Structure formats: C-alpha cells, structure tokens
C-alpha cells in the first residue's frame, strides 16, 4: 500500500512540474532547465524513499493477524470475516478469525491471552465487555502487538483506534421508524442480547427515544434472545402471549428481528400485524424485509469494517 501511494505521489509531483513548465511558456529557457533538474531531483529522491519503504514493508504469511469477535458463530459476523480474510489475502499475511460462541467475557479474555502467548502481529477486537477486556488489550500492547477495536467502542482502551458506527444512534433511528409505523402509541417489546455493550446501548436508545418523543409508547418487556434464533423465537413467543396487545417489536440485532417474525408466524399472525424493526443485517433479515415481515434494519458496512 505504501509503495502504491508513493508511486502516485511521484506521478502527481511530476505532473505538477510539467504543468508548471507549460504555464511558463514564454519564460527563459534557463528557467525551464532549472525546473527539469528539480523534477529529476524529486524523482530520484522519491525513488530512494520507495526503495527504503520496500525494504521495510515486507508482508509475509508468517505474520498472523486475528479477529477476535464477541460472538464468532452468529451470521452477522460473516461479512466481517470475509472482509478480514480478503484483506489478509490482499496483503499476503495470515488472517484468522476467532471468538467465543456465546459472548462469554472470560472466554474472550482467554482467547486474547492465547494470542499474546502466540505473539501474533495484530488483533482486531470487538469486546463483549470493553471494561473487562481493556486489561487484556493493555497486555497485548505491552507485548508489542497492534490492537484495533471495532464495532463496539472501548473507552480508555489502549487500542490503536476504533472503527465502527454509533450503536446508540443507529438504534435511535430504528426506534423512530418503529414509532411512526405504530402511529406513535401502543405497547412494544424489545428483543436483545443481555450483557454486551452494543446491545445495552441499543436498548437504551429505544427507551430514550420513546420516552422523549413518543410518551404514548410503552415498552412492556425486553427479552433476552442471546443472538440465537431458537432462543429468541421462544422468548418473543412468550412475550407476545403475555402481552397480546403488543403492536411493535424493536430488535437489537439481526437475529432479534428474525426471531420476532418467526414467533409471529407460529402464533398465526400475518406479515405486518406486528411492526418489527431490526438492527444489523444477514440473509434472513433481508429476506424477511422483502416479504414484509420486517419493516427495516439499520446496519453498518460490515465487510468494509472487516477489511
């Protein structure tokens, strides 16, 4: 990448110098000769820098970079994994993908410590609990491992940067769509995965938007879907049976909304009887939007994030 950027820079500098020569047109020939010499000096200097960069930036399959996500097996992460793998292939390094199956903090911490022991080159971390994972990030950085945080921000982390969207703002937009769809009043339910920061932020956004802008909307229950289709379907089915007047459901992840739609089907409801909005995207969510079971989803550019 550095070599490409450097080549482009050289090209632009030379074009700029040639443009200057054209504009000078009527200037003395001596001035033109000085400009040509300057161009040669710039080109030679840039070529030397490029050679130095080439000597330093040498990608190798021995360099291992690992994405450690909050829940590795959820379909939502598939695009992240694909982007991560494609970037690894493009750079000529080894790109691995790991993460606990259930969002377990201790398991994700153990994965971090295993990666530190392996002395990998870098880690892309989506933490299940940023505060709990920050010490592991600090240990990795102390060991000379580059760490970036993605998708779920980690305040006070020693990671090099954060790459992602605002979970709160995304959910706030979804909450407004749901509120308008149900006419600004009625009972609603929320489906989310309890315990992870991004999910708690999204639940907070639904709660805040309804309280501030739609006082006639009541959140009667928030159920834990654990990012799991079967668990989510059972949880939402129970919620709908307990509160039959629910007119809308706000999902906090892609599985949430798909599970809500499945629960509605199993209760012999029709598409649109209960307004459902989602967060994030996978094939199930998109298919349910096309068939009118889900109104919309708010999603980040997951492949680009992984890449």
pLDDT tens for 22-38 read 332 333 333 333 334 44
pLDDT category at 299 given cuts 50, 70, 90 is confident
Q: What is the rounded CA–CA span in Å between residue 72 and residue 225? A: 16
- What percentage of the chain has pLDDT greater than the value 70? 81
Q: What is the rounded CA–CA span in Å between residue 164 and residue 146? A: 18
H/E run at residue 36: helix 29-56
Is the pLDDT at 135 greater than 70, yes or no?
Answer: yes
Q: What is the rounded CA–CA span in Å between residue 191 and residue 209? A: 16
Is the pLDDT at 39 greater than 80, yes or no?
Answer: no
- Please report how many Cα atoms fall inside a 13 Å half-sphere around the Cα of residue 173, on the Cβ side: 14
The residue among 13 and 49 whose pLDDT is bigger is 49
8 Å CB contact between 178 and 248: yes
pLDDT category at 153 given cuts 50, 70, 90 is confident
pLDDT category at 49 given cuts 50, 70, 90 is low
The residue among 14 and 58 whose pLDDT is bigger is 58
8 Å CB contact between 280 and 299: yes
- Predicted confidence at residue 75, as pLDDT, reads 78
Based on its alpha-carbon atoms, the radius of gyration of the chain, rounded to whole angstroms, reads 26
Rounded average pLDDT over 253-273: 96
- What percentage of the chain has pLDDT greater than the value 90? 63
8 Å CB contact between 192 and 199: yes
**What are 111-119's contacts with CB under 8 Å, separation 24+?**
111/68, 112/68, 112/136, 112/137, 112/139, 112/140, 113/139, 115/66, 115/68, 115/140, 115/145, 116/140, 116/143, 116/145, 118/64, 119/143, 119/145
Is the pLDDT at 191 greater than 90, yes or no?
Answer: yes
Is the pLDDT at 5 greater than 50, yes or no?
Answer: no
Rounded average pLDDT over 103-116: 93
The residue among 304 and 42 whose pLDDT is bigger is 304
Rounded average pLDDT over 195-211: 94
Is the pLDDT at 184 greater than 90, yes or no?
Answer: yes
């Amino acid at each position: 990448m550095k070599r490409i950027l450097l080549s482009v820079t050289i090209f632009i500098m030379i074009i700029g110098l040639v443009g200057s020569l054209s504009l000078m047109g009527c200037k003395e020939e001596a001035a033109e000769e000085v400009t040509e010499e300057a161009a040669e000096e710039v080109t030679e200097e840039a070529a030397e820098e490029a050679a130095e960069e080439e000597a330093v930036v040498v990608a190798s399959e021995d360099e291992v970079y690992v994405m450690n996500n909050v829940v590795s097996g959820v379909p939502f992460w598939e695009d992240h994994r694909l982007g991560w793998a494609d970037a690894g292939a493009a750079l000529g390094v080894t790109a691995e993908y790991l993460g606990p199956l259930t969002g377990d903090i201790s398991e994700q911490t153990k994965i971090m410590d295993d990666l530190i022991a392996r002395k990998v080159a870098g880690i892309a971390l989506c933490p299940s609990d940023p505060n709990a994972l920050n010490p592991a990030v600090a240990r990795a950085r102390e060991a000379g491992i580059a760490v970036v945080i993605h998708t779920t921000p980690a305040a006070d982390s020693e990671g090099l940067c954060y790459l992602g969207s605002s979970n709160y703002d995304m959910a706030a937009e979804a909450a407004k769509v749901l509120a308008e769809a149900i006419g600004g009043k009625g009972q609603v339910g929320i489906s989310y995965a309890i315990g992870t920061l991004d999910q708690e932020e999204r639940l907070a956004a639904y709660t805040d938007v309804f309280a501030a802008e739609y006082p006639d909307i009541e959140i009667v229950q928030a159920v834990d879907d654990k990012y799991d289709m079967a668990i989510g379907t059972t949880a939402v089915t129970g919620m709908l049976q307990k509160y039959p007047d629910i007119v809308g459901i706000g999902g906090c992840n892609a599985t949430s909304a798909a599970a809500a739609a499945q629960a509605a089907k199993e209760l012999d409801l029709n598409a649109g009887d209960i307004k459902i909005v989602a967060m994030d995207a996978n094939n199930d969510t998109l298919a349910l939007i096309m068939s009118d079971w889900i109104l919309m989803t708010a999603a980040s550019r997951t492949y680009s994030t992984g890449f």
